[in-house]
């Protein structure tokens, strides 16, 4: 079993030379990790959803090979690392560091990913997705924070303990390359590797976010995700809008009617009750506490461009608690792409024969994704306006969200102690609106395991968008905190 906070293991963690720990971590970050991530950012290793020809392009292979070569050079006792491959799937890195603590029977699993989101528009003139730049302790570029740093931070945390001879449990790492596509390649690997994982007692995931850069943040929930393409077609070819507008219905107007089935246009609230779930009392209390910590920064730190002519910015809500719940425990719908609409410069007076939108539906943590897919498809395709051809094609791998199990006393103590030592403030708890499909898989497969889900995606780090950055000082402190938690586990 994982130790409680009165066992010799906990006492061992107290004996850590924390000055030496911080010095080791800082040296690794400055001398090795920042240069390695600089090289990593320069490689356009886009996830398969955004690069269907990823295998031929070789960018994913490049970042995987680079990471493995770095891992092989690290001073971790008994460390073994390999690239695991299944036919037709993106590769996975698997590493194993045997226990150095006598009698330790459980395994710590560390998780991250190396695939990236696409470029997106709007980067600052001197920045770009594949042009890394270190400025004011922020490493700019796509993927450094989401989630290239995780491999390097995980191994460094283990190595920092071994450098001092601090005993620890067995540690294994799973680094995938399909996360930004919904991790549909990962589940077959988990099945293939299940016998090598051991008895998982603690999962450390470094692919999440932080409410600020002033303390350690533990993610307690993740939303699910359903995405797919909604297409409306009424004509076989485009026709003159002057001659036939008013006879043939606009595909865009039909699309608007379909959206009225899904959401309240005035508020953005999702209408189908199947997309909602009750919010547990513990998560409501956490949202209240986090709202007190962050205040209006919950919504004010977004890169707003509204508020014209000196008027106020008007988000969906200015109540910090409600804003947190809206983005973590309530469903939301976003259009993330479109086709059938020509660029503005080429937009003639033509009735478009078809319009298609890519939909991203974020689901509350306790809503089953497979059920939501079926409900969404039925709702959109049933009885289409004007008997138009309406199809919704869901993407592979819909992901159910995740809500963390109750925190064991030993882990709560370890997290708070680590936060106080390295950040000077108590650990804080927050839900995240994003999705990490592996967490539910591990929770179901290892129901006794504890979870430390955290990350460096703090204010304005802007994962998936322009000007993404990694906050290097926060990442260093997080690495040291992970090392202390590992030392406390059995």
* pLDDT tens, position by position, 357-376: 999 999 999 999 999 999 99
Cβ–Cβ < 8 Å for 415, 452: yes
CATH class (in words) of the domain with range 224-277+331-399: alpha beta
Q: Which residues contact 312 (CB under 8 A, 6 or more apart)?
A: none
Going by pLDDT thresholds of 50, 70 and 90, the confidence category of residue 2 is very low
All CATH 3.40.630.10 domain ranges of the chain, comma separated, are: 8-222+401-488
pLDDT in tens, 237-270: 999 999 999 999 999 999 999 999 999 999 999 9
pLDDT score, position 3: 39
Percent residues over pLDDT 70 in the chain: 97
Q: Rounded to 10 degrees, what is the CA torsion of 7, 9, 13, 15?
A: 80
* Backbone dihedral angles phi then psi of residue 104, each to the nearest 5 degrees: -70, 130
239-240/217-222 β-pairing: unpaired
**Residue ranges matching CATH 3.30.70.360 in the chain:** 224-277+331-399
Enumerate residues 6+ apart whose C-beta is below 8 A from 41.
129, 130, 131, 132, 139, 141, 142, 143, 144, 148
pLDDT tens-digit map of 212-237: 999 999 999 999 999 999 999 999 99
> In 3-state terms, what secondary structure has residue 433?
coil
Give the span between the Cα atoms of 79 and 71, in whole angstroms.
9
Name the band, by pLDDT with cuts 50, 70 and 90, for residue 443: confident
Alpha helices in 96-174 (DSSP H): 149-164
- Whole-angstrom Cα distance, residue 118 to residue 322? 31
Q: What is the pTM of this model?
A: 0.90
Tens of pLDDT, residues 38-68: 999 999 999 999 999 999 999 999 999 999 9
| pLDDT tens track for 276-297 | 999 999 999 999 999 999 999 9
**Residues 193, 84 contacting (CB under 8 angstroms):** yes
Residue 11 binned pLDDT confidence (cut-offs 50, 70, 90) = very low
pLDDT band with cut points at 50, 70 and 90 for residue 404: very high
- CATH superfamily, domain 8-222+401-488, is Zn peptidases (3.40.630.10)
Question: Among the listed ranges 13-22, 176-185, 212-221, 473-482, which one has the minimum average pLDDT value?
Answer: 13-22
Angle between helices 149-164 and 34-41 (to 10 degrees): 160
Looking at residue 437, what is its pLDDT?
86
């Amino acid at each position: 079993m994982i130790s409680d906070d009165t066992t010799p293991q906990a006492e061992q963690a107290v004996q850590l030379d924390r000055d030496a720990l911080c010095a080791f971590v800082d040296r690794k970050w400055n001398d090795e990790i920042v240069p390695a991530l600089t090289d990593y950012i320069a490689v356009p290793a886009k996830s398969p959803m955004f690069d269907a020809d990823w295998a031929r392009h070789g960018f994913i292979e490049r970042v995987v090979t680079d990471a493995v070569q770095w891992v092989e050079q690290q001073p971790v006792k008994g460390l073994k690392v390999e690239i695991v491959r299944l036919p037709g799937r993106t590769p996975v890195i698997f590493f194993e560091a045997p226990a150095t603590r006598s009698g330790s029977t459980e395994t710590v699993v560390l998780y991250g990913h190396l695939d990236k989101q696409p470029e997106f528009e709007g980067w600052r003139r001197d920045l770009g997705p594949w042009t890394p730049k270190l400025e004011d302790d922020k490493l700019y570029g796509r993927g450094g924070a989401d989630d290239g740093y995780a491999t390097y931070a995980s191994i460094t945390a283990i190595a920092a303990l071994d450098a001092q001879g601090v005993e620890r449990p067995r540690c294994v790492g799973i680094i995938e390359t399909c996360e930004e596509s919904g991790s549909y390649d990962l589940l077959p690997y988990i099945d293939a590797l299940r016998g090598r994982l051991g008895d998982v007692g603690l999962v450390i995931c470094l692919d999440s976010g932080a409410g600020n850069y002033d303390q350690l943040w533990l993610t307690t929930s993740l939303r699910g995700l359903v995405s797919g393409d909604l297409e409306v077609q009424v004509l076989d070819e485009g026709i003159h809008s002057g001659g036939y507008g008013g006879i043939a219905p606009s595909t865009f107007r039909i699309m608007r009617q379909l959206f009225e089935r899904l959401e309240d246009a005035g508020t953005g609230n999702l209408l189908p009750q199947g997309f909602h779930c009750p919010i547990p009392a513990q998560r409501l209390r956490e949202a209240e506490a986090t709202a007190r910590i962050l205040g209006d920064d919950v919504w004010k730190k977004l890169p707003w461009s509204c508020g014209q002519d000196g008027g106020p910015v008007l988000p969906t809500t200015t109540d910090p608690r409600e804003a947190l719940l809206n983005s973590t425990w309530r469903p939301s719908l976003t259009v993330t792409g479109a086709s059938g609409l020509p660029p503005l410069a080429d937009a003639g007076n033509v009735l478009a024969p078809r319009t298609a939108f890519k939909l991203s539906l974020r689901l509350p943590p306790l809503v089953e994704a497979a059920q939501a897919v079926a409900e969404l498809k039925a709702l959109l395709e049933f009885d289409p306006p004007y008997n138009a051809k309406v199809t919704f094609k869901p993407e592979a791998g819909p992901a159910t969200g995740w809500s963390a199990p109750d925190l064991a006393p030993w882990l709560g103590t370890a997290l708070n102690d680590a936060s106080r030592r390295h950040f000077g403030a108590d650990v804080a708890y927050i839900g995240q609106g994003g999705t990490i499909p592996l967490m539910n898989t591990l929770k179901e497969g290892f129901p006794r395991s504890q979870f430390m889900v955290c990350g460096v995606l703090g204010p304005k780090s802007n994962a998936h968008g322009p000007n993404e950055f990694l906050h290097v000082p926060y990442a260093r402190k997080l690495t040291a905190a992970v090392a202390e938690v590992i030392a406390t586990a059995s």
